[in-house]
Amino acid sequence: MDNNNDFQIDIELVRQLVDGTIDDDNSERLLKLPRKDVGRFFQYIEVLQERVKWTDRILMRLGDNLYIVKNKENKRVTKCSCGQEFGDYRENWKLNCKVRIRKTGESMAEVYTPEPSVPEQGWQEIREFFCPNCATQLAVEVVAPGYPIVFEMFPDIDTFYRDYLGVPLTDESEDWYCDHTKKVTSEWAKG
Ligand SMILES: [Zn+2]
């Protein structure tokens, strides 16, 4: 049965997978599928959609609490589980976060063990990004001081839906897959 390309697992198993409650046998069964079952992505999205309070369509998940959604104004925006929006998904969402930077050896040692693994002060810094509404920590990056904020994942959503899933989005456009982060920072430079 697992060799059948039309194989479809029960959505309840996907719920358990998302919640981390799936048992070992079923987990192994899913891992050993020769091909991922048809429709798994949409089942997964359906389960995620059940678990958020808002109804905007989830296009993709970026992290435990972070999603790219199509909102009520038909814009593709990055959104937190709590409902906070971080703007157009083509702009690095981190620019709209609260940020804590650990620069001193002492502050970095608070989150690193053992001692030899602590980044060297002056050569590296730890940036922690928080949702300004619910205060959830959404990302952490360790970089050299002055390094631009890392845009961790900027997916080509249209190509993914069209070529991989075979279900093109109705608002497909060449303009979507174009990083707009510099538009935001250039506005800052003017201010
Ligand atoms: Zn939030």
Whether pLDDT at 185 is above 70: yes
**Residue 102 within a domain:** yes
**Residue 182 within a domain:** no
Q: pLDDT at position 6, please?
A: 56
**Residue 22 within a domain:** yes
Q: How many domains does the chain have?
A: 2
Whether pLDDT at 93 is above 80: yes
Q: pLDDT at position 115, please?
A: 87
Expressed as residue numbers, the domain containing 14 is 1-51
Q: Which long-range contacts (CB under 8 A, 24 or more apart) does 95-99 make?
A: 95/149, 95/181, 95/184, 95/185, 96/132, 97/129, 97/130, 97/131, 97/132, 97/138, 97/139, 98/129, 98/130, 98/131, 98/132, 98/135, 99/127, 99/128, 99/129, 99/130
Cα 132 to averaged position of ligand 1 atoms, centre (Å) = 7
**Residue 20 within a domain:** yes
Cα 83 to averaged position of ligand 1 atoms, centre (Å) = 6
Collapse the DSSP code of 6 into the 3-class scheme (helix H, G, I; strand E, B; otherwise coil) and give the result.
Answer: coil
**Residue 67 within a domain:** no
**Residue 27 within a domain:** yes
Q: Which residues surround ligand 1, an ion (CB under 5 A)?
A: 80, 82, 84, 131, 133-134
Q: pLDDT at position 4, please?
A: 47
Q: pLDDT at position 1, please?
A: 44
Query: 29-72 pLDDT, tens per residue?
Result: 888 888 777 788 999 999 999 999 999 999 999 999 999 999 99
User: CA-CA distances (angstroms) from residue 146 to 40, 127, 138, 150?
Assistant: 41, 11, 21, 11
Mean pLDDT of 22-32: 90
Cα 87 to averaged position of ligand 1 atoms, centre (Å) = 13
Q: pLDDT at position 7, please?
A: 64
Whether pLDDT at 129 is above 70: yes
Cα 134 to averaged position of ligand 1 atoms, centre (Å) = 4
Mean pLDDT of the chain: 92
Any residues with CB less than 8 A from the CB of 17 and at least 6 apart, and which?
27, 30
**Residue 15 within a domain:** yes
Cα 76 to averaged position of ligand 1 atoms, centre (Å) = 17
Cα 183 to averaged position of ligand 1 atoms, centre (Å) = 24
**Residue 172 within a domain:** no
Q: pLDDT at position 166, please?
A: 92
